[in-house]
């Protein structure tokens, strides 16, 4: 990219947004790929999301990453949705096309790619336990199903919400030959007598934000289990520490953040940057804060 080249404008929109690592991540992607991208933060008032998006677009903006609390509003604003955004019911990536606004959700893709590529755990034929049934969980089920797991069990404190998710994805699971089931915390094992550890356990609850542990049978964790927390911080989360105490391997969601950003970059530019080098740098930065 030459010094005088006009750069296309992108940003992350949210409230709050000052803490976002997205500008750093996308600056690294732009440098690595040579794509003429300029990326900023956009703080939108809680009641002014649509106006801020339209103003950014009118000023020549090409796309946005959307973070809390605007992912549902972004879903409503989009003229067209990707299948994964439609399934998630939420949008974290907006692309401004000549014929309207395209909405996508790259969170689930980011999770799957981090698990399979960065952590080296294949989801094909795996038994997966998903803790939580909110927006974060809903966004990852379809991308997981595309990797052909053998079984996905969704467990939530409110069993009704887990049942609703199971119902939503039953058809897609059937198509790929995956057993999907779930309910309250007692649904971790359909047959408590034959209780084997899961291959992958994903904590999609917000519990780690306030150091709360999701309710989960300790027998779900074993030495062959990857316990993945979608949250991340300078220190291991309470869920990660719990999983490790039960003999499992644990990971946080920093890689998911980087990989969902790489997929957003691909949605915008048609070029997929490598996430691993950026992830390694962010890990060093986090370790320095610990």
Strand ranges of the sheet holding 93-97, from the earlier edge strand across to the other edge: 37-43, 8-14, 63-66, 93-97, 100-104, 80-81
Catalytic residue among 71, 124, 196, 284: 71
Taking each helix axis from N to C terminus, what angle separates 22-33 and 276-289, rounded to the nearest 10 degrees? 140
Instruction: Consult the annotation and say whether 92 binds a ligand.
Output: yes
Find out whether 87 and 142 touch, Cβ atoms under 8 Å: yes
Instruction: Consult the annotation and say whether 255 binds a ligand.
Output: no
Query: Cβ atoms within 10 A of the Cβ of 16, count?
Result: 11
Instruction: Consult the annotation and say whether 18 binds a ligand.
Output: no
Instruction: Consult the annotation and say whether 79 binds a ligand.
Output: no
Instruction: Consult the annotation and say whether 135 binds a ligand.
Output: yes
Instruction: Consult the annotation and say whether 204 binds a ligand.
Output: no
Instruction: Consult the annotation and say whether 253 binds a ligand.
Output: yes
Instruction: Consult the annotation and say whether 159 binds a ligand.
Output: yes
Instruction: Consult the annotation and say whether 24 binds a ligand.
Output: no
Instruction: Consult the annotation and say whether 211 binds a ligand.
Output: no
What phi, psi does 257 have (nearest 5°)?
-60, -45
Instruction: Consult the annotation and say whether 158 binds a ligand.
Output: yes
Instruction: Consult the annotation and say whether 105 binds a ligand.
Output: no
Instruction: Consult the annotation and say whether 120 binds a ligand.
Output: no
Instruction: Consult the annotation and say whether 126 binds a ligand.
Output: no
Catalytic-residue membership of 71: yes
* Nearest-angstrom CA–CA distance, 251 and 244: 10
Q: Which residues form the catalytic set?
A: 71
Binding-site entries for NADP(+): 132-136, 156-161, 230, 253
Task: Mark the binding-site residues, compressed into ranges.
Answer: 20-22, 67, 92, 107, 132-136, 156-161, 230, 232, 253, 260
Residues annotated within a binding site for shikimate: 20-22, 67, 92, 107, 232, 260
């Amino acid at each position: 990219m030459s010094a005088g080249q006009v750069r296309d404008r992108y940003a992350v929109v949210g409230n709050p947004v000052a803490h976002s690592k997205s500008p750093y991540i996308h600056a690294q992607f732009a440098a690595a790929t040579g794509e003429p991208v300029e990326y900023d933060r956009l703080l939108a008032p809680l009641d002014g999301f649509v106006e801020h998006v339209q103003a950014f677009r009118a000023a020549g903006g090409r796309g946005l990453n959307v973070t809390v609390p605007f992912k549902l509003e972004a879903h409503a604003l989009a003229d067209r949705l990707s299948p994964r955004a439609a399934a998630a019911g939420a949008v974290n990536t907006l692309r401004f096309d000549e014929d309207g606004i395209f909405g996508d959700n790259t969170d689930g893709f980011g999770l799957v790619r981090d698990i399979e590529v960065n952590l080296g755990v294949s989801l094909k034929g795996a038994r997966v336990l998903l803790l939580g049934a909110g927006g974060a969980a809903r966004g990852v089920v379809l991308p997981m199903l595309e990797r052909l797991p053998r079984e996905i069990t969704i467990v939530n404190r409110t069993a009704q919400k887990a049942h609703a998710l199971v119902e939503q994805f039953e058809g897609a699971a059937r198509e790929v030959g995956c057993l999907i089931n779930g309910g309250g915390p007692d649904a971790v094992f359909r047959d408590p007598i034959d209780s084997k550890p899961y291959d992958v356990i994903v904590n999609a609850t917000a519990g780690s934000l306030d150091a709360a542990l999701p309710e989960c049978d300790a027998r779900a964790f074993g030495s062959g289990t990857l316990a993945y927390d979608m949250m991340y911080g300078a220190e291991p989360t309470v869920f990660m520490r719990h999983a490790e105490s039960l003999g499992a391997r644990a990971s946080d969601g920093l890689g998911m953040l980087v990989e969902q950003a790489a997929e957003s970059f691909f949605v915008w530019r048609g070029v997929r940057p490598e996430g691993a080098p950026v992830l390694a740098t962010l890990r060093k930065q986090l370790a320095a804060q610990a």
